[in-house]
Amino acid sequence: MQAWLDAALDYIPGWLDFQMRQSERPGCSIAITHKGRIVLERAFGSADTVKGTKLTSRHRFRAASHSKTFTSAAIMKLREQNHLRLDDRVGDYVPGLYRDVAECTINQLLSHSAGIIRDGTDTGQWQDRRPFLDRQELMHALAEPPVLAASMQLKYSNHGYGLLGLVVEAIAGEPFKDWLSREIITASKLRNTQPDGPATTGKPFARGHSGKVLLGHRVVIPADNATNALAPATGIISTAGDLARFFASLDPDAKTSVLTPASRREMVRRQWRDPHSTIESHYGLGMMIGKVDDWEWFGHSGGFQGVASRTVTLPKRDITISVLTNSIDGPAGAWSDGIIHILRGFSKRGAPTKATAGWSGRWWTVWGVIDLVAAKDHVAVASPALLNPFSGASKIKIAGQDVGWIDQSSGYGNPGEGARLVRGRTGRIREVWIAGTKFLPERAARAELKKMYQK
């Protein structure tokens, strides 16, 4: 493994721990793979704040719309077996559809361009007001006309993916969940993944949580209910580790996968651009596609009652990141972007050297917190409070033992001024001076704050 990647993996847990403390979210589980192998797996916070259950990497989460990638993989597997073609009419497999729905192709369903209603005229299942649709209820909805003509634009549809599940059942001659479990989940060696709720007993499961605004505190949401006919769109239950390994296996260059490279290339090929997104984003076949700065990714996000998640693969770097949170306002997407920023930062800055390695750690004042992050030829003054901790980071050049100077900084900062470390009798750093500001370890800063203001 490259030295810069090791250094990044060392930094990411501390950054995310601070993000958890700052945002007061209940829990977060992350996993990162490199070349398909897990190189970082960590959990933070609680699986259930009422019971006080500590979250672990073994806890499974509702992964919600990650299910669409699994369903897309199922369709592509059937295509490889010559059971269907992507330009087949869905009505050739599922009778009883409205005529315009029946004319939609499997490709249009996979790419969310069939024009089908997103969640029906009553979306109460998403608010826990009623159960998710069964097959009869889904078919009743699909007997209505689509809301847009096909191939007009990207139009996300959970109902459309429910229909893809019916296609799988028609071809396989068995329930979608059974076929997916055997042909995709088990075949991918995902031991902690199941196609729908309720969660399997005997395995730890992270409960969802509401936001804080309505009641002034969070309430626990079970989040393991069955999604019935919409399982192909939102049923998956999994761990960050399983999701990271599965999405890594869908990289067209992955050495091991349930799909051929050709199928994987087709899944991650841009089909539709979202014209109204504030950031550049596309959709493939069961895959979201985007980038952070110049680093491209493919993957999927998920949202369910009380949970939010995202898994992304960086194909040119053989890295996959899965971030699962168990609160409805969990910033899984922002944190996965933050991890990409950190990886990108370390890849550009390089791994610490003997000269810089001593300059590290988290340091505090009444104004806030900084991280000293050692790189190849400098030390970055990073902010763990930011989603990109290296944004606007000053650079310290080392000039001698425990002495340096600020080589690069905002004009409103301290360019050209000094930096130094102050050690105690044991050699341990007890103060960091950046220009004229003294930073302390957390415990000392806390004591200083109490002494000054808690009279």
Determine the pLDDT at residue 109: 98
DSSP letter assigned to residue 257: -
CA 334, 389, 354, 402: dihedral to nearest 10 degrees? Answer: -160
Same-domain pairing of 235 and 256: yes
Q: Determine how many CB atoms are found less than 10 A away from the CB of residue 22.
A: 11
The pLDDT confidence band at residue 1, using thresholds 50, 70 and 90, is low
Reported as a single tens digit per residue, the pLDDT across 141-174 is 999 999 999 999 999 999 999 999 999 999 999 9
Confidence bin at 8 (pLDDT 50/70/90): very high
Q: Within this chain, do residues 107 and 206 fall inside the same structural domain, yes or no?
A: yes
67-114 per-position pLDDT tens digit: 999 999 999 999 999 999 999 999 999 999 999 999 999 999 999 999
Total structural domains in the chain? Answer: 2
Backbone angles phi, psi at 363, to 5 degrees: -135, 145
397 shares a domain with 333: no
Whether 53 is in a domain gets the answer yes
What is the C-alpha end-to-end distance of the chain, expressed in Å?
Answer: 52
Of 314, 330, 350, the position where a domain reaches its end is 350
Residue 22's H or E segment, with its range, is helix 3-23
Q: Which helix (H) or strand (E) holds 62?
A: strand 61-64
pLDDT at 455 over 80: no
User: Are 321 and 431 contained in the same domain?
Assistant: no
- Using the 3D structure, point to which of 300, 324, 350 is the last residue of a domain: 350
Residues near 348 by beta carbon (within 8 Å), at least 6 away in sequence: none
CATH code for the domain of 138: 3.40.710.10
Tell me if 341 is assigned to some domain.
yes
The answer as to whether 19 is a domain residue is no
| 7 shares a domain with 55 | yes
- Tens-place pLDDT, residues 390-419: 999 999 999 998 999 999 999 999 999 999
Residues 436 and 346 in one domain: no
Can you tell me which residue has the tokens 């001593």?
358
The share of the chain scoring above pLDDT 70, in percent, equals: 100
Residue 277 has pLDDT above 90, yes or no: no
Distance from the Cα of residue 346 to its chain's centroid: 20
pTM (predicted TM-score): 0.96
pLDDT in the model for residue 275: 86
Which single residue is written with the structure tokens 């030295």? 3
**Would you say residue 17 lies in a domain?**
no
Classify the phi-psi angles of 48: left when phi > 0, otherwise alpha if psi is within -120 to 50, otherwise beta: beta
One domain, residues 194 and 324: yes
- Nearest to 268, CA basis, from 255, 286, 294, 291: 286
Supply φ then ψ for residue 25, to 5 degrees.
-80, 155
- Whether residue 56 is contained in a domain is answered as yes
The answer to the question of residue 98 being in a domain is yes
Which residues, at least 6 apart from 132, have a Cβ–Cβ distance to it below 8 Å? 125, 225, 226, 227, 228, 229, 230, 234
Left, alpha or beta for 286 (phi > 0: left; psi -120 to 50: alpha)? left
Whether 61 has a pLDDT exceeding 70, the answer reads yes
Residues 69, 178, single domain; the answer is: yes
pLDDT at 276: 86
Asked if the peptide bond before residue 198 counts as cis, ω within 30 degrees of 0, the response is yes
In a domain, 153, yes or no: yes
333 and 393 part of one domain: no
pLDDT tens per residue, range 304-354: 999 999 999 999 999 999 999 999 999 999 999 999 999 999 999 999 999
Q: What is the mean pLDDT of the chain?
A: 96
Domain presence at residue 91: yes
Domain identity same for 366 and 323? no
Asked if residue 315 and residue 171 are part of one domain, the reply reads yes
CB proximity list for 381: less than 8 A, separation 6 or greater: 370, 371, 372, 373, 393, 394, 395, 396, 434
CB atoms within 10 A of CB 48: 20
What's the pLDDT tens digit per position in 341-382? 999 999 999 999 999 999 999 999 999 999 999 999 999 999
Do both 307 and 380 map to the same domain?
Answer: no
Domain finish residue from 350, 371, 406: 350
Domain of 405 in residue numbering reads as: 361-453
